[in-house]
Amino acid sequence: MVTSSIKTLDQLEKSICNCKKCPRLVKWTRTVAKEKRKSYENEDYWGKPVPGFGEKKPKLLVVGLAPGAHGANRTGRIFTGDRSGEWLFRAMHKAGFANQKESINKKDGLKLKNARVIAAVRCAPPDNKPSISERDNCHDWLAIEWNLIEKDLKVVIALGSFAWKATVDLFKTNDFKAKNNAKFAHGSKIIFYKENKQITLIGSYHPSQQNTFTGRLTESMFDSIFGSASKLIST
């Protein structure tokens, strides 16, 4: 378990935004923010680590891979400004975890209900592929955030195998035990428990363009994941 002087999510957000642990990622996020994509050339890019977004006492935690170079690295809000975010918040809206399906920028009015969204790695990586050391560097941020929100959590959804591995490690380092074993797959579940607390981990394919364009992940498949989470939370 990670110990920290950070006691609130607001303090955590400021610390994450100022993080420079990974030189490669610091350089990349700043380079992308400077060069920009032509379609966003008139926008100011965020260009630094992206904190979590949502309720401070969530029952559902969604863990993604990392910010998109021209999505969250541009807008400053996780899963905002790209197609992955469109898929995510549309599914969350259908399941009652978001007040709207649109996720355009920080001022679009999006609010989450009983849910929080974070990333295993807080900076946009080149080719959307963070290294193992970069994942490990970010683990402390993940662990601190977990300690601040764990009390009310009932379900965690891991988007992709990278987030699944990071989340399983997080449960283990916080002394949770697994009632069952499962490898990552779409719809995989592991029930973790500690004393009187139980949290269900659900795996989902990441709503990346590679998965959605090829049909590996369909809208109904994605909706079913959040539907399952909603049922678990309501019981």
179: in domain = yes
1: in domain = no
82: in domain = yes
Phi, psi of 199 (to 5 degrees): -130, 135
Domain count, the chain: 1
3: in domain = no
Give the CATH number, domain containing residue 212: 3.40.470.10
pLDDT value of position 129: 94
145: in domain = yes
pLDDT band at 4 (very low <50, low <70, confident <90, very high): confident
* Average pLDDT along the chain: 96
Tens-digit pLDDT profile for residues 43-99: 999 999 999 999 999 999 999 999 999 999 999 999 999 999 999 999 999 999 999
Rounded-to-integer distance, Cα 60 and Cα 4, Å: 23
Other CB atoms closer than 10 Å to residue 40's CB: what's the count? 13
pTM of the model: 0.96
Tens-digit pLDDT profile for residues 190-215: 999 999 899 999 999 999 999 999 99
pLDDT value of position 235: 83
| Structural domain range at position 166 | 9-34+42-234
Identify whether the C-beta of residue 95 lies closer than 8 Å to the C-beta of residue 223. Answer: yes
Per-residue pLDDT averaged across 25-49, rounded? Answer: 97
Tracing tokens 């975010």 back to the chain, one arrives at 85
